[in-house]
Amino acid sequence: MRDQFLDLQLRGQTTRLGEQAARTRSLDHAELALAEPGDSGIAAELGRFWSAWGDLTNSPESPAARQAVIESGITLADRIRDLDTQLAAVSAEAAA
């Protein structure tokens, strides 16, 4: 004969384990989406964006410097958009 108290404790802990495993998966996916620290994360893209602006400040008449700012801005915007999509998917997965 089994102890009802122990059965309830086991069920409760099993439920908590499942919740924690789901939370861990969601956080792992969010961490992968952020890609920080790394060369493809938002921080790296922001660094390249501000660097391009710095180069433009030093050579305001340079068409190459202007183009670099434009391209860097587009790349940064694309990275932010991708991150938003990935984090929305993580959020939807966590809510399910």
- pLDDT one digit per residue (tens) for the chain, 96 residues: 568 888 888 888 888 888 888 888 888 888 888 888 888 788 999 999 999 999 999 999 999 999 999 999 999 999 999 999 988 988 888 777
Residue with tokens 């670099």: 68
Q: Output the six-digit token pair for 64.
A: 């190459």
Return d(Cα 29, Cα 37) in angstroms, integer.
15
Residue-range domain boundaries for the chain = 4-95
Return d(Cα 86, Cα 88) in angstroms, integer.
5
The answer to whether 77 and 60 are in contact (CB under 8 A) is no
